[in-house]
Chain A
Amino acid sequence: MKLLTLNFLTCAVKTCKSSSDSFPLHPKDAELASDDVEVNPELLVNLLPRLDWKALKTTSAEVFLPSCIYPLGFPQLPDSPPTIEQLQSDDKLLKDLHSLLMETNLMEGKLVCGVCGHEYAVREGIPNFLLPSHLV
């Protein structure tokens, strides 16, 4: 699962959704893999206004903690989202974003809700959000 997708996922438990702490989910014991994906600048630029930048910063910081060995290094993101014009004119930022959002995959590990603490397993790049009956 691409890190991009984490920007659109939250806890599946109904009562957690009203709390802002349920987003983003926190990766735990994350194993990452890097893919070779063709850069699609147009898609990235168009996606920019749909991203939750603060959540993206959180995710990228958590996923690249020293415990997670990542051969490509830690792509640094600016504190506030770039404007569309800035992104279009900044090749390095575009490449960093592409690498982070499109090429970095969460392969194994867990996604943890900051409210209820439930851990969703991620196996072979596929997260499982089916809830045990007591959480439905």
Chain B
Amino acid sequence: MMASTHTPSALPSDSVAGDVAKLAAAAAASQAAESAEAEAYEKTHVHGVYEAIAPHFSATRYKPWPAVASFLQSRPPGAVGLDVGCGNGKYLGLNPSVYMVGSDRSASLVALAHSRGRQLQEQQAQEAKKRIAQGELDATTGTGGESSGAAIATEVLVADGLSLPFRERAADFVICIAVIHHMSTRTRRQEAIRHLLRCVRTGQAGQPGGQILVYVWALEQGNSRRGWDEGGEQDLLVPWVLKSQQKQPKRLKQRKGQKRTRDQDSSGVAASNNSGEAPPSEATAGATTAATEPDPGHTDPVFKRYYHLYRKGELEEDVLAAGGAVITSGYERDNWWVVAANEPLPSQST
């Protein structure tokens, strides 16, 4: 799906911020709901939305979070990793010396991740051939071409975070970025973390266990203009405006276009005043897609995604409730994150 840029001024700016507040509390009902109800709720307000906005969403997800990138880069060579909720697969293949498998609930996003990984693989095979040809020439002078190793980004599958198909205790690490905040009850959020912990190795004598890295949207977003902060409503429906191409935007240079769109929330709520090198913040969007027919005079379809905004300390509480041990945790641009491992108890099983 081709995406093009548009002028952000076309987005309604402040009105939607009010809508967000009005939409708050819709999730309160789901708090007491049973698991099946919560699941049905997420089907409508999370899974269905991602299926519908997948190409648009993917076009806005291209830059890794620094803390995630540094976590991945610091994994030892040959480590086996999982990316639960991999979306378009932007973290797969980031570190070429590890092997990663991605899963996502959205088949559309998984398909996008897969073709991205295939392209990368073909590109690498071409480059390797060139290097080998070059290496043959260099061999006579004794400066053979060195292999840098190819990254694996093709391995993706469709799965639910609460029914993962991964061999238990086999992975060295798991990342789960901007996923758990879509679960609509605390029990389910803790259960999701428990599932992540089950995927990683337990520690043995002299060998630390596998680690999980979890990232969630924070309630405390004082530096962003979304208007959410300490003490506010934590369960929200956040709109995603699927922009149609009503006005043909003047063609911006790609780089400039990306920078502009990064500063604009899909809902029209301006994201934090990002400087040029900042990563995209969650729910940042702006690129239009051809997913909907241009239909002047009609409003753009709005999809509402459920979010639970984590307050300070809540993520660590959920890790403990899931039987994990917090290794480090922190805050990065509107998100809370935690690195955790299994509690090193010999009695712990499954």
Contacts and interface: CB of A to CB of B under 8 A. Distances in A.
A128 B107 contact: yes
Interface in B280-304: none
Q: How large is the interface on B (under 10, 10 to 19, 20 to 34, 35 or more residues)?
A: 35 or more
Contacts of B79: 46
A18 B168 CA distance: 10
Contacts of B97: 42-43, 46
A36 interface: yes
Interface in A33-87: 35-40, 42-43, 45-50, 52
Contacts of B163: 12-14, 129-131, 136
B155 A5 contact: yes
A10 interface: yes
Interface in A1-32: 1-2, 4-5, 7-14, 17-18, 23
Q: Which of B128, B147, B154, B172 has the most CB of A within 10 A?
A: B154
B80 A47 contact: yes
A125 interface: yes
Interface residues of A, number: 41
A127 interface: yes
B165 A12 contact: yes
A126 B78 contact: no
Contacts of A52: 167, 170
Nearest to A25: B165
A38 B101 contact: no
Contacts of B350: 17-18
Interface string B143-162: 00001011010111111101
A43 B159 CA distance: 26
B223 interface: no
A126 B114 contact: yes
A50 B172 contact: yes
A47 B99 contact: yes
B171 interface: yes
Contacts of A131: 160, 163
B223 to A, nearest CB: 38
B321 interface: no
Contacts of A46: 76-79, 97
B150 A37 contact: yes
B54 interface: no
B174 to A, nearest CB: 12
B166 interface: yes
B121 interface: yes
Contacts of A48: 78
Contact of A45 (B78, B124, B125): B78
A9 B166 contact: yes
Interface in A102-136: 102, 120, 124-131, 136
B191 to A, nearest CB: 11
Contacts of A40: 96, 147, 149-150
B164 interface: yes
Nearest to A24: B167
A36 B165 contact: no
A109 to B, nearest CB: 14
A12 B162 CA distance: 9
A47 B121 CA distance: 19
B77 A43 contact: yes
B158 A128 contact: yes
B150 A38 contact: yes
27 contacts: A1-B155, A2-B155, A8-B80, A9-B166, A11-B165, A12-B159, A12-B165, A13-B163, A17-B168, A35-B121, A35-B125, A37-B125, A38-B127, A39-B147, A40-B147, A42-B149, A43-B77, A43-B78, A46-B79, A48-B78, A50-B80, A127-B158, A128-B159, A129-B158, A130-B158, A130-B160, A136-B163
Interface of A: 1-2, 4-5, 7-14, 17-18, 23, 35-40, 42-43, 45-50, 52, 102, 120, 124-131, 136
Given A12-B164, A42-B149, A43-B149, 7 more contacts: A36-B125, A50-B80, A50-B172, A124-B114, A126-B157, A129-B157, A131-B163
